[in-house]
Amino acid sequence: MTAEFLLRLLERVHGHLGWLAVVALIHPALLLRNPKRRAPLAILLTALAVTAAGALGAWIYPDYRVLVKPLIFQDAPAVGWWFERKEHLAVGAISLTWIGALAHLGQPRCPPEQRPALARIAHRASLIALLLAAAVAAIGTAVASYRSF
């Protein structure tokens, strides 16, 4: 197994995990519309899925930056800039996923009068994370269609 083959494989796994994370984020975005609904395991597993997709992307990024990114910017700078946006949106999606998860998981530990506010934060953060993750996955697919390892 060559290094290039491994990078190509990890890149594809990262892309598939990204789309699976988008699908997983649909669950909390819908489930948490009801502020009284409790689903700590589902929320935690979703956050772990989103984090795993991001962590794999961060792991392959140094090689991507050296081997692929310069060629994209050389041939199609607009595609390269879309990839740059994707990175920032991904950080936002991961952050908001965890904000939503922590707000949801923290509700039972806070005073009852604060729980509705945390429920709103959990739902809104999950919904925005879903939208950002969908944009990240779509942009990532478009960039990978243009050039990959």
Q: Give tens-digit pLDDT for 8-43.
A: 999 999 999 999 999 999 999 999 999 999 999 999
Cα 98 to Cα 111: distance, rounded to the nearest angstrom:
21
Amino acid identity, position 107: Q
Please name the residue that has the structure tokens 């934060």: 121
pLDDT band at 79 (very low <50, low <70, confident <90, very high): very high
Residues in contact with 140: Cβ distance below 8 Å, sequence separation at least 6, in sequence order: 15, 18, 83, 86
Neighbour-count burial of 101, counting CB atoms closer than 10 A to its CB (0-12 exposed, 13-18 middle, 19+ buried)? buried
